[in-house]
Amino acid sequence: MNALPDRRLNAYRPDLAEAALQDTVTAERYVTGTPARVAAPVAALRPRPDETAGIDTQVLFGERLRVLDRANGWAWVKSDLDGYVGYLPEAALDEAAATAATHVVAVPRSFAYSGPDLRTPAAFALSIGSRLTITGESETRGTRYFTLEGGQSVIAGHCLPVGEMVSDDYVAVAGRFLETPYLWGGRSGFGLDCSALVQLSMMMTGRSAPRDSDMQATGLGTPITREELRRGDLVFWKGHVAIMEDGETIIHANGHTMSVAREPLATAIERTGYLYQQPTGYRRPA
């Protein structure tokens, strides 16, 4: 019997499945879904429609997804960005507008203000990677502001046009997250886990990466040996991934410091040995 597709990346239930799986899984009906985008600053994707369920990952303001089902205030969705499937509250969505995102937040954290002035109340916070549709701009006391569709204002200097990269060095981007709190399933500048640090940092340099560490360990780059490690390479343990800052030092979001931290690879291997054993592999992203 063939193994069923990975439920993290394939949407199927006995009553409903995405149309792409029609020849793979059995369901009562198949749908292509309807486009929508994230209207909340950060929204958690959960494995079931239950606020007490653990967080699998998060989607960010302005990111696009497809809604496969809606029931009891929840939406079953699949992210356009990395294909992740999960449930989030319907209130976190709006229907995808005809206008596409024009800019992306390019700093770890920022704010949308109620007006074009940093002295006005912040309407909501924004994470790096959030996608914005800019409808105008203004200047107040020498600071440029972009105007969002909803009328809020963001600092223009905190944004880049879609397609323009923060850096060509994803390790440098990862370093900007140092001391950001660790959050299981987190994928934002407010809190993130080990694999999200890799994915977000690469995303801001125009590169794509799978969401979870096991996916990265098998599908991101090529295997290398520990002796070959250099800046930008990845070290994997069972359930964990770290980024090499140089040949000896890693940056990783971890549950030991409960933050994104820097430490010698040798120290991390010794410290985690009782729990994670030795690293399971080393990879060099393409």
Q: What is the pLDDT of residues 40-68, one digit of tens each?
A: 999 999 999 999 999 999 999 999 999 99
Sign of CA dihedral 122, 126, 132, 137: positive
How much of the chain is in helix, strand and coil states, percent to nearest 5? 15, 40, 45
Q: Are residues 138 and 118 in the same domain?
A: yes
Q: Which H or E run contains 150? A: none
**Do 125 and 190 form a contact (C-beta atoms < 8 A)?**
yes
Report if residue 49 sits inside a domain. Answer: yes
Q: Are residues 88 and 141 in the same domain?
A: no
Supply angle C-alpha 84, 285, 44, rounded to 5. Answer: 25
Q: Are strands 17-18 and 30-31 parallel, antiparallel or unpaired?
A: parallel
Q: Are residues 125 and 86 in the same domain?
A: no
Report if residue 132 sits inside a domain. Answer: yes
Beta strands in 175-258 (DSSP E): 187-188, 191-192, 222-224, 234-237, 240-244, 249-254
When divided into structural domains, the chain yields a total of 3
| pTM for this entry | 0.96
Tell me what the pLDDT averaged over the chain comes to: 96
Q: Are residues 46 and 124 in the same domain?
A: no
Residue 153: give the domain boundaries. 103-161
Q: Are residues 141 and 84 in the same domain?
A: no
User: In percent, how much of the chain has pLDDT > 90?
Assistant: 94
Structure confidence at residue 274 as a pLDDT band (50, 70, 90) = confident
Buried b (16+ CB within 10 A) or exposed e, 109-139: ebbbbebbeeeeeebebbbbbbbbbbeeeee
- Reported as a single tens digit per residue, the pLDDT across 100-155 is 899 999 999 999 999 999 999 999 999 999 999 999 999 999 999 999 999 999 99
Report if residue 9 sits inside a domain. Answer: no
Domain with residue 209: its CATH number is 3.90.1720.10
Q: Are residues 182 and 236 in the same domain?
A: yes
CA 108, CA 126: separation in Å to the nearest integer?
9
Q: Which H or E run contains 225? A: none
Backbone angles phi, psi at 248, to 5 degrees: -130, -15
Q: Is 105 exposed, middle or buried (0-12, 13-18, 19+ CB in 10 A)?
A: buried
| Helix, strand or coil, per DSSP, at residue 281 | strand
**Do 242 and 233 form a contact (C-beta atoms < 8 A)?**
no
The answer to whether residue 96 scores a pLDDT higher than 90 is: no
Q: Are residues 213 and 257 in the same domain?
A: yes
Q: Are residues 179 and 276 in the same domain?
A: yes
Structure confidence at residue 1 as a pLDDT band (50, 70, 90) = very low
Last residue of a domain, one of 61, 95, 129: 95
Can you read off the two tokens belonging to residue 242?
A: 């770290």
Which candidate, 114, 187, 170, places its Cα nearest to that of 145?
114
Taking the C-alpha atoms of 160, 56, 182 and 192 in order, what is their torsion angle to the nearest 10 degrees?
-10
Structure confidence at residue 82 as a pLDDT band (50, 70, 90) = very high
CA 117, CA 95: separation in Å to the nearest integer?
29
Q: Are residues 65 and 118 in the same domain?
A: no
Report if residue 181 sits inside a domain. Answer: yes
Instruction: State the residue for tokens 């949308």.
Output: 112
CA 214, CA 235: separation in Å to the nearest integer?
12
Domain with residue 37: its CATH number is 2.30.30.40
Q: Are residues 183 and 142 in the same domain?
A: no
Q: Are residues 81 and 138 in the same domain?
A: no
What is the amino acid identity at position 264? P
Structure confidence at residue 277 as a pLDDT band (50, 70, 90) = confident
Question: What does the pLDDT read at residue 189?
Answer: 98
Which candidate, 125, 101, 132, 134, places its Cα nearest to that of 41?
125
Last residue of a domain, one of 95, 124, 144: 95
The answer to whether residue 97 scores a pLDDT higher than 80 is: no
Q: Are residues 119 and 210 in the same domain?
A: no
